[in-house]
Amino acid sequence: MVAIKWSPGCAGPKPAVWEPPTQRPGSLVVLEEVLDADLLAAWEARLRRNLEGYSDNTRKAYRSGLARFVTVVCEACEPDWACLRRSLTDLDRTAAAVEALRARWSPSTAGQTVAAVKSFCDVAAEQGFLDGLPSWPKTRHVVASDEDVEYFTLPEVQSLVAAAGMPVDDGSICGEISKRIRLPERDAELVRVLQTGMRIGEVLAMTRNWLRGEGPDRRLRIEGKGGRRRTLQIGANEALSAAFDRLLAWRNDVAHAQGSALGHADPLVVDRAGQPLNYQKMRRVFLAWLDVADQLHAEGQILVPVPRLPGGRALHAFRHTVGVEMAAAGVPINAIQSHLGHTNVATTGIYTRIAGEAAAAAVESIPVV
C-alpha cells in the first residue's frame, strides 16, 4: 500500500494522480432537458416502489448513471430523445456507448450505469417509448482481482482510531481544515463502526431504527445495496456495541442542541449542525483523520503510519479489512458472504485467498533446523 494521495491539510508537494485514459465530460446532461417528463417520472416511481427495494443512495446513483449514459451517447448529436432512442435501438451504437463508459469510468461505475439504463429501458418499453428492449452487448460479472483489494492492518486501524479521537484544540494537529470538519466524539466511534464491514453508503444511511434489541441480543438491521437487508449481531461484540452506544449518545446531544429529539428515522452520521454527511463530506473527514495520523506519527505519538491509498479506495478499504480478518480467523466463507452482503460468493473468495497467502508466508518464514 503506497502513500500517493495528497491532502491539503499538510504541507508538501502534490504528487501526480491517476487520470482516466479518455477525458470525461465536464458535466452531465440534465435529464429533464432530454427525456419526456412523464417517462422520467414513471421510471423514478418504479425505483421508489417497495417491490424494487432500491435505497435512496441507489436511486440517486441510478439517476446519475442514466445521465452519464445520455451524456456519452449524445456527444455526437443533439442531446435529445431522438438521439438517445437511436443509440438504444442500434446494437453497434449501444456497444460503442458501453465501451466509452468503460474507458472513462471504473468497471463498477460502468456496470452500475448499464444497470440503471436497463431499468430505464424496461419502463420506456412499457410506456410505449421504445418498441422493444435494446440488445445489450454480452457482459459478465467482473470480480476484482486480489491485486485490486486494498486493506488496512489492525495496527493501522488503531492509529486511525487514535487520530480520529484526537481533541481538536491540540495545537500540534496540522491543517485548519482538520479542525473545522473533525468531531472527535463522533469520529473515533465512526472508525469503530466502519469495522463492521458495512459499505460507506450503508454507514451514511444508518438511522436510529436500524438498531434493535439490547445486550447480547442487540442487532443492526442494515438496509443494504439494492434494497437487500441483512442483520449483524452486534450484541455479540461488547466493544462494538459500546461504540454504537457512544455514537448514539453523541447524536442525541446534537439533536438536543438543535432543540429537537432524535427520531427513529433520523440519520446517525451527521455534522455539528445535524446535517447528514454525504460521500464527499465523509471523504473530507477521512482525509482529515489521515492528516492528524501523519502528524502524530511524525511526533512519535503513534508508531504505525496510515497509508494513503490511491483513488477512492481508502474508505472502502475498511470493508476489505473486515473480510480479510474474518477469513484469517477461519470464519466460513458463506458466513463472511452473509455478513458483508455479497451476492456473488466469488467476491468473498478474494478474502480467503489473501488470508491463505498470508498464512502460507507465515509458514514459509518458520525457521526449521
* DSSP states of 160-185: HHHHHTS-TT-TTS--HHHHHH--HH
Q: Tens of pLDDT along 151-203?
A: 898 999 999 999 999 887 655 555 566 677 889 999 999 999 999 999 998 99
Name the grid cell of 157: 486501524
Task: Specify whether the backbone of 6 is left (phi greater than 0), alpha (psi in -120 to 50) or beta.
Answer: beta
CATH class of residue range 147-364: mainly alpha
Q: Are strands 219-223 and 211-212 parallel, antiparallel or unpaired?
A: antiparallel
Q: Which long-range contacts (CB under 8 A, 24 or more apart) does 92-99 make?
A: 94/134, 94/135, 94/136, 94/137, 95/137, 97/69, 97/72, 97/73, 98/136, 98/137, 98/139
Q: Which long-range contacts (CB under 8 A, 24 or more apart) does 233-236 make?
A: 234/196
| Residue 77, pLDDT above cutoff 90 | no
Nearest to 156, CA basis, from 13, 11, 325:
325
Percent of the chain with pLDDT over 70: 80
Poorest-confidence range of 195-209, 299-313, 330-344, 349-363?
A: 349-363
CA separation for the pair 230, 339 (Å, rounded): 8
CA separation for the pair 119, 70 (Å, rounded): 14
Q: Which segments of the chain does DSSP mark as H helices, in order? A: 37-48, 56-73, 81-88, 91-104, 107-126, 154-164, 176-181, 184-194, 200-205, 238-257, 279-298, 313-328, 333-340, 345-364
Are 152 and 3 in contact by the 8 Å Cβ rule? The answer is no
> SS in 3 state form for 203-227?
HHHCEHHHEECCHHHCEEEEECHHH
**Domain limits of the chain?**
31-126, 147-364
pLDDT confidence band for 355 (50 / 70 / 90): confident
Position 18 scores a pLDDT of 30
Name the grid cell of 12: 508538501
Name the grid cell of 125: 418499453
CA separation for the pair 46, 122 (Å, rounded): 10
Between the CA of residue 207 and those of 42, 98, 235, 239, 339, what are the distances in Å? 28, 36, 17, 20, 19
Dihedral sign (CA 15, 20, 22, 28): negative
In degrees to the nearest 10, what's the CA dihedral of 95, 311, 186, 191? 100
Mean pLDDT of 206-235: 90
Q: Tens of pLDDT along 104-159?
A: 887 778 888 888 888 888 888 888 888 877 666 554 444 455 556 788 989 999 99
In what order do the strands lie in the sheet containing 229-232?
A: 211-212, 219-223, 229-232
CA separation for the pair 136, 289 (Å, rounded): 43
Are 249 and 268 in contact by the 8 Å Cβ rule? The answer is no
Which range has highest mean pLDDT (15-29, 46-60, 134-148, 265-279)? 265-279
Mean pLDDT of 267-272: 93
| Residue 332, pLDDT above cutoff 60 | yes
Are 205 and 193 in contact by the 8 Å Cβ rule? The answer is no
